[in-house]
Structure 1
Amino acid sequence: MNVAFAGLTAAGKTTHARLLARELGYDYVSATEVMLEILGLDVAAGDAWFQRYDEIQAAREGDAADDELDRRLLELAASRRRTVFDTWALAWLAPDPIVRIWIESDPASRARKCLVSQTRTRLSLPGCEALCQEKDEHTRDSLRRRRGFDLFTDRDRYDLVLCNSHLIPTADHACAQRGIATLAPVVHQAVTALLERPHLGELDRLADVYPAEIIRIGRRVSSEPSDDASRARS
């Protein structure tokens, strides 16, 4: 079975998708890397949105590149197993079976993570928050127009909604690493439970152990296409 991570800009989906893939021995697919390949841009995915944001957005003008991205990701999801996908839309587009994870992170925490993750650029904290907001608004508008769901509010498709807003209170590398180290075992345990298709009691137990990090448990995951029954925990 595959796993699809989603979240807004700098929520931590790339970090935790990579960590989980390594821990599980799964392959890893980055939607950003696929998009850069489609656009023909030779730049590292981690630096792309900082260094060449305007160029990328200009190259994405219209829907052709984004439609091609969706097509390629769906094709990969259909042809591969034991793969972790780092993407915005695949959790909504892909059919079952797939584990769908959303990482919730408020604007202030995402700005701090954005600031810490810079390598060559030197955006200020307000600059990071503005970049995240602009990028997310563009992605939201595209997905709402093309796919009919709202990236900012729609969570009913996800099997699990995790939160790390409280885990990185200051914009420094030590704090960021502590936040990652705190959330990573939660991600691992919860996703492993979902991959093993447990009784809901196991997910309830994890939610009781990690009440600040597990904020919603959604649909059951099965080896067959599921119905739309869901259970929310908040």
Structure 2
Amino acid sequence: MSVHSDLKGLRAAVTGGTSGLGLALVRALAKRGAQVAFVARTREAVERVSVETGALGIVGDVGRKTDIHAIALQITGNLGGLDLLVNNASSLGPVPLALLADTQCEELEEALATNLVGPFRLTKALFGALTASARQGRDAVVVNITSDTAVNAYAGWGAYGASKAALQHLTAIWAEEAREEGVRFLAIDPGDMDTPLHAQAVPEADRSALKRPEEAAAHIIGALGLDQPRLALTLETRP
């Protein structure tokens, strides 16, 4: 897969594609000529980004089991297959962040549904399309967006960190199992970014000290060109 200015022919899907890193990825991929589908929950935002980028907007919630089949069908039906899936949609769980003792079970369940079970279900639903791509000699890749909270214990980040830790390990296992199928799995930590999610988590943060989502998106697209079947890329060292 080329990671230069011309990505024509690449069929890509991005979840959480209307803000933050997801939006930056949709813009960057579409600008380079890829066929892009993106998923988000809010219809107005989906329509706005679709008009702006020319990408296919899909209204859906990856944290809801009942939405997954329809999302997968729209992705493969409109793109004619799939080469790249970026599981980017994320939930913090409790907002404001809370200690585990103060976290409601439903808040933990929400983080797990969006950050772990949703990516698993969507990847499973699209795995046939990805293996078909690999059989055609294309570079089939699944990118799961993780976090430093997956490996470091930060007070208050329990629901988010536990879900991302599980996602990172799930990625590693799937990379082992999918190697013979020719599908690569990458767990990528983009680091601290100036995004709405980060603002929810750390409202007092100095935005000028945070990475721009566009910069992180460029790093991720660049990482796709690395000739490694397994990759865990850390671009920063804090959640």
TM-score under structure 2 length normalisation: 0.40
Q: TM-score, normalised by structure 1?
A: 0.40
Higher relative contact order (CA 8 A, sep 6+): 1
